[in-house]
Chains A and B, each alone.
Chain A
Amino acid sequence: MEFRYLPMTETDQEEMLQTIGVSTTDELFSDIPSSVRFQGELNLKKPANEYELKKELTEMANKNASLKQYTSFLGAGVYDHFIPSVVDHVISRSEFYTAYTPYQPEISQGELQAIFEFQTMISELTGMPVANSSMYDGGTSLAEAVNLSAAQTKRRKVLVSQAVHPESRAVIETYARGQNVEIVEIGLKNGLTDLDHLEQELDDTIAGVVIQYPNFFGQIEPLQKVEELIKQQKKTMFIVSSNPLALGYLTPPGEFGADIVVGDTQVFGIAGQFGGPHCGYFATTEKLMRKVPGRLVGQTKDEDGVRGFVLTLQAREQHIRRDKATSNICSNQALNALASSVAMSSIGKHGLRKMAALNMQKTRYAIEQCKAAGLEIVYEHPSFNEFVVKLSNSVPAINDKLFEKGIIGGYDLERNYPELTGHMLIAVTEIRTKEDIDTFVKELGDING
């Protein structure tokens, strides 16, 4: 069998063995005790040639209903947005995607500068002065923020709104358990965080408060009111998880006194990919700059005074500080941060507001059409690109019928909120046309009866 990734020839092998002074490659493995030597051949599928494998995997891909074939109203943290063509052309340049972490700045200025630009864009969007080079995703970034608040305040309790993405909350739970941090959930009031409950729980033992903006139901949480409550506790940190696209239209959390702002840049140039890889961002204050998890790129000069970029403040990181590091993160999502940078550059300063507004306009239209069709809209606060309808049947049953009509329906809220039976979370992005929305609402109305 030939293997096109392996350039070793028989002659090479003979010459190399001679240099080493052994007669077979097996001798190089003689240090593996025979008791643990694997006998025989691994039980794997036979190797496939390139043509055959592409065919096989294309067939496998075709077994999936893609968002290109179906009209999707599914969001709940992963969104079907327009991706400019430039994005894939840039990230397909192998000088980027086949490179390692830029530890050698002299030959990595491209990557370092691209990350510096990413940090700048995230800082602009969130209204925070410092942003890192990326995290795995919005959920783990939020969990790191929770643990950072506990470490920084030396307190062991964090309040998390139930209007935060349920899977992010699940990730927080796991991370917090690792650090023996207690999570107290703050309940809901009509689709928003219950501020009375928040006020009751807030005291001088609370390390941080976590709010999602817009929240999991698409509703725009009143950050100003939350800020007023948190401000009464001096050390308590205000942690906001934000869809960065929404920040093209909404006042950034930085203007409401947020200490840490996190989220996912999947909305900028990253396809859904069944949930990953996406790209977390992490933004914070200057005060917390030296506590940030993950890599940071800083601007500096070379010996000749030429501007350049380097990985910096590495004393926070695991490869220097080991068990005293602020996080164990090493690999991040650099290539996806690059994709988002290209998308943000393409959308640009004015395009961003326009794109955010398009999401809001089309969502408002969908809400009005649903109402006109007799569907019950559950929460009527201002929303970004998602809203909740209450249906007469279970959401999976309705989605099955929508699917037959070529539509991927919304998210079944009962999965995480048992009290919300028959509640569907519907997402409407800029790429849904009036016709898509009209068809969807008509079918949904018909099925709902």
Chain B
Amino acid sequence: MANQEFPLIFERSKEGRTSYSLPNLDVPEIDLNAELDDVYVRKTPPELPEVSELEIMRHYTGLSNRNYGVDSGFYPLGSCTMKYNPKINEDVARLEGFSHIHPYQDPKTVQGAMEMLYDLQTALKEITGMHEVSLQSAAGAHGEWTALMMIRAFHEANGDFGRTKVIVPDSAHGTNPASAAVAGFEAVTVKTNEKGLVDLEDLKRVVGNDTAALMLTNPNTLGLFETEIMEMAEIVHAAGGKLYYDGANLNAIMGYTRPGDMGFDAVHLNLHKTFTGPHGGGGPGSGPVGVSKELEPFLPKPIITKKENEYVFEYDRPQSIGRVKPYYGNFGINLRAYTYIRTMGAEGLKKVSEYAVLNANYMMRKLEKAYELPYNQHCKHEFVLSGSRQKKLGVRTLDIAKRLLDFNYHPPTIYFPLNVEEGLMIEPTETESKETLDGFIDAMLRIAEEVENNPEVVQEAPHNTIVKRMDETTAARKPILRYYK
């Protein structure tokens, strides 16, 4: 199957071929260059392709065949919540009354859109137990940074300029320390203990009057619930810091517990994870932020409120951190999430978390026979295995991941979190059937056997993909980032 190069759209291009069908010039033509200084008139046209419409469809259909999505097969990518993307969501997002509206229309003419946003805010407040929600942030990392900017504004409003540090567990997603840095904080690490949870003693050591916040994912990236969450909240709050919830793993706890009830002051959600926004090959996402009453004045503006029977944008927010994004957020993604919440309701969402957790525990128990399980306890929606046994036999986790491609599975997240050697982070999600899980389990067990009996087949994987392993070193050393004719 290998050795299949695919032409670039530019390589299909041929002078004189067109695919466009533009409106007519139905007004008297004037000489545009008469008034425009010649220096501003483009001399060389950009080298966009010249192809027919069928060639475009063949090209992109060909590319889609060289891609793999949730609709193609199982995608147990830990921390990414690759669940089914419902089709009604896509249909609703394409309704003209939603897709073809302008952000600067008079709010009176877009009351349906504003009603949806308001209802979504209300639902997310209930699900998270937070006081207020803003839908402006475009993605998870954007939401993290938004909330940290609010926490910073809160401390500064109290005349407290010495809170320069944000505490992040060593198991945290890379966006946490990065967002802290972009918000102007220094990221400091708190260690994970032998149980896979935040080490309270270490937390007490790093916390202080320079602590702005602790960022936490619960369940954490090992898929374990931070059982001492109330103690942690107390430690951080006693020091004057705020507790921040990274909602990447909300899929595990809906209807079971809420960040607001666990003492969190701010949360972000990934609507493209828990709430079925499609990942789109990397985006767009949506990263709403929920906050406590105390932080509410600092929300990005505008916020959407309801006045009598009308939805309005409220701009008069003197303590607001300002705008984090033009307009009102990724409306189209928020709409998909809303459609999903309306489909599931409270009963459905609780079942989502119940089954996500059941699926993960089932897989973990089936796989622990062949792979090292560093933290042996009930997991939540995901779990982390270590490829350390296989490594001793000369096979790396990367090889195992590549071998899974031959069985037509997307591999788990690998080498993350950083505190697990040769980590394999598996998140099945609730939308997968037992048969699918069993198929994947069989493949994983077979690979473990291959590692013992025929390691080369794993080390040299993949064998069945359209291309083999890529030379990433040369790609980074001598970057080719665009096509030249």
Contact = CB atoms under 8 A, between A and B. Distances in A.
Whether A associates with B in a native complex is: yes
Interface stretch (B206-214, B327-335, B389-397, B450-458): B327-335
Contacts of A329: 139, 141-142
Interface in A302-334: 302-304, 306-310, 312-315, 317-325, 327-334
Given A121-B48, A350-B45, A355-B22, A300 B104 contact: no
Given A95-B71, A298-B480, A352 B471 contact: no
A334 B280 contact: yes
Interface stretch (A97-105, A186-194, A230-238, A385-393): A97-105
B308 interface: no
Nearest to B110: A64
Interface in A110-145: 110-111, 113-117, 119-121, 123-125, 129-131, 133-134, 136-140
A17 B362 CA distance: 7
A274 B284 contact: no
A22 B364 CA distance: 14
Contacts of A223: 40
Contacts of B227: 31-33
Given A21-B365, A274-B102, A82 B53 contact: no
A53 B32 contact: no
Nearest to A334: B282
B144 A36 contact: no
B282 A277 contact: no
Contacts of A156: none
A403 B109 contact: yes
Contacts of A133: 282
Contact of A61 (B43, B98, B329, B465): B98
Interface string B438-455: 000000000000000000
B244 interface: no
Size range of the chain B interface in the assembly: 35 or more
Nearest to A322: B177
Given A48-B342, A117-B10, A300-B472, A353 B112 contact: no
A37 B57 CA distance: 52
A332 B88 CA distance: 23
A310 B472 contact: yes
Contacts of A31: 224-225, 227, 377-378
Contacts of B149: 174, 177-178
A160 interface: no
B115 interface: yes
Interface in A388-410: 396, 399-400, 403, 408
A274 B69 contact: no
Interface in A1-60: 1, 3, 5-9, 12-13, 15-17, 19-22, 25, 27-33, 35-38, 41-48, 50, 53-54, 56-60
A364 interface: yes
A57 B85 CA distance: 18
Interface in A72-104: 72, 74, 76-78, 80, 82, 84, 86, 88-90, 92-102, 104
B266 to A, nearest CB: 16
A235 to B, nearest CB: 22
Contact of A224 (B39, B64, B331): B39
Contacts of A251: 39-43
B346 interface: yes
Contact of B230 (A36, A333, A434): A36
A247 B112 contact: no
B281 A334 contact: yes
B112 A47 contact: no
Contacts of B225: 31-32
Interface string B14-27: 00011111110111
Contact of A277 (B70, B330, B362, B471): B330
Contacts of B116: 57, 60
Contacts of B286: 277
A218 interface: no
Interface in A273-317: 273-277, 279, 289, 295-304, 306-310, 312-315, 317
Interface in B278-330: 278-287, 300, 321-330
Contact of B68 (A12, A78, A99, A330): A99
Give the interface residue-count category, chain A: 35 or more
B470 A302 contact: yes
Given A96-B69, A99-B68, A349-B47, A354 B126 contact: no
Interface in B168-206: 173-175, 177-184, 186-187
A202 interface: no
Contact of B346 (A44, A138, A344, A411): A44
B25 A361 contact: yes
A345 interface: yes
A178 B182 contact: yes
Contacts of B3: 304, 306
A274 B141 contact: no
Nearest to B378: A28
A248 interface: yes
Contacts of A346: 19-20, 53, 56
B331 to A, nearest CB: 4
Interface in B323-361: 323-333, 339, 341-352, 354-355, 357-359, 361
Contact of A47 (B285, B348, B474): B348
A220 interface: yes
Interface string B34-63: 011101111101111111010011011111
B426 interface: no
A319 B49 CA distance: 34
Given A19-B365, A53-B339, A274-B327, A3 B97 contact: no
A274 B342 contact: no
A33 B232 CA distance: 13
24 contacts: A25-B357, A32-B256, A45-B123, A58-B97, A76-B104, A97-B69, A107-B68, A113-B8, A130-B482, A179-B184, A222-B37, A274-B328, A276-B325, A277-B283, A300-B480, A301-B474, A302-B2, A302-B470, A331-B284, A336-B284, A348-B18, A349-B49, A358-B23, A408-B102
Q: Nearest 5 A-B pairs (CB), nearest first?
A: A275-B327, A61-B97, A335-B280, A63-B112, A275-B103
